[in-house]
């Protein structure tokens, strides 16, 4: 994806909603071949991470629609022996987690999601993961993540320990200087982009700090 010139023109929820609309519109215009190339590049970048190679358990989202693709990544992690957890959306929009046991272990879930058919392991299962990979519409250089607005992954990320790599998968152009943030927003520690690969983000900047 070519770099975008995205400017955040509002703050709080209004700013988030406007930014979501712009990014979703841009993603909808991506040709299938660009999405496929991005998925392959992201898979290779994540699999090359030492933390991914050593992870006994990985919690990973299963992509839908125009999200950066994870189907090949999930399968590759599972094939090399990683215990893979996929999210199961609860009625209250919190996330439970269940094991991925290959492509035949999936079933349709709510809101167009694809979910594992295995027994849920509880919302706290994500806290036992050695690697956590989450979706995002954008991330800023403080690690602030813009999601879909339901708060599901904020609740999940709040259960993850401070030493666990948390990675948001993005298209090129979606790592921004600043994303509107609320006190409950949980940060990620790394982002992966098709052309740039893995970027580690600072963990010491408070939400109110000016960016360097």
pLDDT of residue 203: 63
Q: What is the C-alpha to C-alpha distance for residues 79 and 96, in angstroms, rounded to an integer?
A: 23
End-to-end Cα spacing for the chain: 26
Tens of each residue's pLDDT in the chain, 212 residues? 444 445 444 556 678 999 999 999 999 999 999 999 999 999 999 999 999 999 999 999 999 999 999 999 999 999 999 999 999 999 999 999 999 999 999 999 999 999 999 999 999 999 999 999 999 999 999 999 999 989 999 999 999 999 999 999 999 999 999 999 888 899 999 999 999 999 999 864 454 444 43
pLDDT of residue 14: 73
112 Cβ contact partners less than 8 Å away, ≥ 6 residues apart:
64, 65
Q: What is the C-alpha to C-alpha distance for residues 109 and 84, in angstroms, rounded to an integer?
A: 18
On whether residue 30 sits in a domain, the answer given is yes
Residue from 54, 48, 135 nearest 95 by CA: 135
Sign of the C-alpha dihedral, residues 33, 36, 40, 42? positive
For β-strands 175-176 and 190-193, DSSP reports them as unpaired
Q: What is the C-alpha to C-alpha distance for residues 83 and 56, in angstroms, rounded to an integer?
A: 6
On whether residue 138 sits in a domain, the answer given is yes
Residue from 70, 99, 97 nearest 83 by CA: 99
pLDDT of residue 212: 37
On whether residue 116 sits in a domain, the answer given is yes
On whether residue 22 sits in a domain, the answer given is yes
pLDDT of residue 208: 44
On whether residue 208 sits in a domain, the answer given is no
pLDDT of residue 184: 85
58 Cβ contact partners less than 8 Å away, ≥ 6 residues apart:
52, 77, 82, 83, 84, 85, 129, 130, 131, 132, 133
Q: What is the C-alpha to C-alpha distance for residues 133 and 190, in angstroms, rounded to an integer?
A: 9
pLDDT of residue 10: 52
On whether residue 130 sits in a domain, the answer given is yes
pTM, entire model: 0.90
On whether residue 65 sits in a domain, the answer given is yes
pLDDT of residue 211: 40
Tokens describing residue 76: 């590759």
Structural domain span for residue 41: 12-200
On whether residue 50 sits in a domain, the answer given is yes
How many structural domains is the chain composed of? 1
Tokens describing residue 157: 């990320």
The CATH number for 43's domain is 3.40.50.10420
What stretch of H or E contains 96? strand 95-99
Q: What is the C-alpha to C-alpha distance for residues 121 and 97, in angstroms, rounded to an integer?
A: 6
pLDDT of residue 202: 83
């Amino acid at each position: 994806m070519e770099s975008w010139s995205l400017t955040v023109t509002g703050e709080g929820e209004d700013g988030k909603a406007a930014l979501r609309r712009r990014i979703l519109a841009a993603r909808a215009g991506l040709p299938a071949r660009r999405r496929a190339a991005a998925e392959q590049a992201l898979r290779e970048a994540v699999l090359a991470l030492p933390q991914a190679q050593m992870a006994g358990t990985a919690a990973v989202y299963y992509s839908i629609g125009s999200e950066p693709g994870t189907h090949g990544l999930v399968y590759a992690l599972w094939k090399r022996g990683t215990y893979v957890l996929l999210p199961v959306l609860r009625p209250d929009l919190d996330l439970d987690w269940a094991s991925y046991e290959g492509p035949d272990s999936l079933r349709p879930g709510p809101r167009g999601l694809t979910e594992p058919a295995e027994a849920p392991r509880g919302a706290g299962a994500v806290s036992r993961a050695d690697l956590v990979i989450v979706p995002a519409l954008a991330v800023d250089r403080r690690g602030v993540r813009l999601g879909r607005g339901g708060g599901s992954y904020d609740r999940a990320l709040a259960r993850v320990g401070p030493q666990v790599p948390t990675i948001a998968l993005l298209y090129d152009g979606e790592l921004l200087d600043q994303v509107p943030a609320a006190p409950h927003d949980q940060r990620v520690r790394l982002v992966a982009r098709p052309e740039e690969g893995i970027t580690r983000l600072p963990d010491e900047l408070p939400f109110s700090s000016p960016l360097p």
